[in-house]
Structure formats: C-alpha cells, structure tokens
Amino acid sequence: MKLPKSLEHFSQKHNFTWDANANLLYGSWQGYYFTIVQNPSGRPTHTIMLSVGQPDGRPSPALSAILGNLQPDYKYLTDFSTDGYQVKASFQCRFAPQVKTYIQQMEEFIDALCMSLQSANLVNCCQKCGSPEGVSSCLANSNPLLLCQNCREIATQQIAQKAGEMKKRRGNFLSGAVGAILGSLLGVAAWVLVYRLGYIAAIVGLIMIVCTFKGFSLFGGKLNLPGILFCTVLSAAMLYVGEQVAIAWEIYDIFRTDFSVTFFQAYQSIPTFMEYDAFRRAVIADMAYGYLFMAAGGFSVIWSTYKQHNVPPTLQVLESVTPAPSDPTLSTENTGQQ
Ligand SMILES: [Zn+2]
C-alpha cells in the first residue's frame, strides 16, 4: 500500500524508508534502528520494533522495566513485549480525529525510549544472538528482522534447505484425492446440518472449499495445478450433492408419515418438485449463494495453500544497520550462541 498520509511528515522528518510491499517504515533515530509496521488495513495501528542489547552482546535485564516505566505516559501505547533483545510496542488509535495527536505521541514515545536506551548504554544488535556488529535489517517472508551476518547465513542455509525439500516433495495425488473427498464429505454434512437447522446454508460454501483443500494437503497431495483443479471441481460438485441430500431429507420429512415414502423415494422425487417454480427458485438461490461464498473465500484459501506448497521462503536484506567487524577474528565470536 501507499505510505499513509498521517505518516508522511513523520517519515520525511526522520528520513525513514517506506516499504510498500511489506507495509513498513524503517530507519535510524538517535542511533537506534526502528522498524514501524503499519497495519495492512491502513488504520492507524502500528507495531514499533527494535533490537537492542549490551555492547558485549548480552541481553539487557532492564529492557522490560524501561518499557514499563514509559507506558503510563502514552495512552495510545496499548501493549508492549520484550523477548531477549527484541522490543515490540503496539500503538493504536481508534478515532480518526485523534490521528494527529496519535502520531505526535508515537514520536514522543520513540524519543523518550531512545533517551532511556542511551542512559542504559544499550546498542543496536542482532535479535537472535545479540551481536552488535554487522547487523542488517532483513525481511523474511515480509517479517522484519535484525540479523548479524552469521545469523543471516544460518537463515539463508535453512531457507535453501527448505526450498530444496519443497522441490523434492512430489506429493501423492491419489491419497490427496482421498483426503479431498473425505474433507468434502465433511462439507456436505455441514451443509445438510445448517440446512436442517433452518439457516441459509450458503456460508457453508466457504467451509466446503476449505475442508476439501485441507483434506487434500493433509493426506499428502501436493497442491499443483491438477490438485487445484481437482479440489475446485470436487467442492463445486459436493455443494450440489449437499443441497440434494438436504432437500431430499426435507421432502422425506413432510411425506413419510402420510405417504410412507422412503428416503430414496424422496430423493427420486426431487425432479418432480423442481417443476414447481417456487421450489426451483429456492433451490437455485441456495446453490447460487453457496457458490458465491465459495468463490469469494476460495481464492485466498487456494492461494495460501498453494504458497505453502510451492513458494519457498525468502530472506531479503534491506540495509546495513551497524558496521561489520573490522577484525575478521571477531566475526566468529558469537558463533554457537544461537
Ligand atoms: Zn546474530
């Protein structure tokens, strides 16, 4: 997204960089490196992140207390957490007219935080091992991280390994298909149940497609193009099955006492009932809404499952935060402190 207007001034004043894909601002402020994540909805909700430690690479025991002391002064600071070296502070503004004060307060908070960090003699460091040297800001699958060179290399190796495994993984279409069928049957059951309870079953269209895709991947199918096609067609067909079972059951309920029809006979009589306008229209509306819900939610379900199976994770370096050690023997100092 575009840099929100409320942050424009803020960003210019401190010379921060805006990453439009990851929705974050980053840069140095009074010697500390900040990453500010903007809520993707565009609402004034931000997570301020930094990673600091003692100059010798140890974590600071005072970090949590520093944040705790600041919190009462900032009403928009709704939450904070510290984990080893990493600090996360959440800012949230509920009402639009307050945005200006909100941004101002966020700025004041960062100023005050920098001052406290300076008096505690803390420095920017790697959020994994605490090394203050050779730290860069990175994006791991659009999650911001501050990592030293050593930890970056480890992360890159892990990613390469994962990508290799992903490529090797063939998946078994047949067992995946069995899983998809089982999943879609759950969807059919949900459709019939919701229908029986007297609600509009359309929302189950979404549940149907989720169950089918989940079933496919849980049973070992690799979600490639044939897998996606199979699951999509199956979900659509099973929605039809669900509707047929639901209306057969309704016919059966109405006629079983007076005409002693069996469930199967009720099912067979569906075409006769479909000749009645009102009946046909109700069935078509049920199905149409069901497919609408399926299509509306289906795209994100398919995309997220596809990504999980086919898109390897990435590590992208944004910029250098602290200089690399000048003495090459220092660079191995923090090895093994993971
Ligand atoms: Zn590190």
Q: Which of 212, 270, 277 is nearest to 239 (CA)?
A: 212
Å from CA of 113 to ligand 1 middle: 23
Ligand 1 mean position, distance from CA 202 (Å) = 50
Separation of CA 38 and ligand 1 centre (Å):
26
Question: If you measure from the C-alpha of residue 145 to the centroid of ligand 1, how many angstroms do you get, rounded to a whole number?
Answer: 11
The structure tokens listed for 336 are 């093994």
Helix H segments across the chain? Answer: 5-14, 63-70, 99-119, 149-168, 173-196, 204-218, 225-259, 263-268, 270-274, 277-310
Please tell me the distance from the alpha carbon of residue 105 to that of residue 76, in angstroms, as a whole number.
8
pLDDT at position 286 is: 87
User: What pLDDT, on a 0 to 100 scale, did the predictor assign at position 310?
Assistant: 76
Q: Distance (Å, rounded) from C-alpha 65 to C-alpha 86?
A: 14
Query: Locate tokens 């009102």: which residue?
Result: 278
Which residues have beta carbons under 5 A from ligand 1 (an ion)? 126, 128-129, 131, 148, 151
| CA gap 84, 61 in Å, rounded | 9
Give the dihedral of Cα atoms 120, 121, 124, 129; nearest 10 deg: -80
Please state, in angstroms and as integers, the Cα–Cα distance from residue 184 to each residue in 79, 293, 309, following that order. 41, 15, 20
Output the CA–CA distances (angstroms, integers) from residue 234 to 183, 210, 239, in the order listed.
10, 12, 9
**What is the whole-number distance in angstroms between the Cα of residue 324 and the centre of ligand 1?**
12
Q: Which pLDDT does position 84 carry in this prediction?
A: 92
pLDDT at 327: 56
> From ligand 1's centre to the CA of 138, what distance in Å?
12
Q: What is the whole-number distance in angstroms between the Cα of residue 327 and the centre of ligand 1? A: 17
pLDDT in tens, the chain (338 residues): 888 888 898 899 999 999 998 899 999 999 999 999 998 888 889 999 999 999 999 999 999 999 999 999 999 999 999 999 999 999 999 888 888 899 999 999 999 999 999 999 999 999 999 999 999 999 988 789 999 999 999 999 988 888 888 777 777 888 999 999 999 999 999 999 998 888 777 888 888 999 999 999 888 777 888 888 999 999 999 999 999 999 999 889 888 878 888 888 888 888 888 888 888 898 898 889 889 888 888 888 788 778 777 777 788 999 999 998 875 554 444 444 43
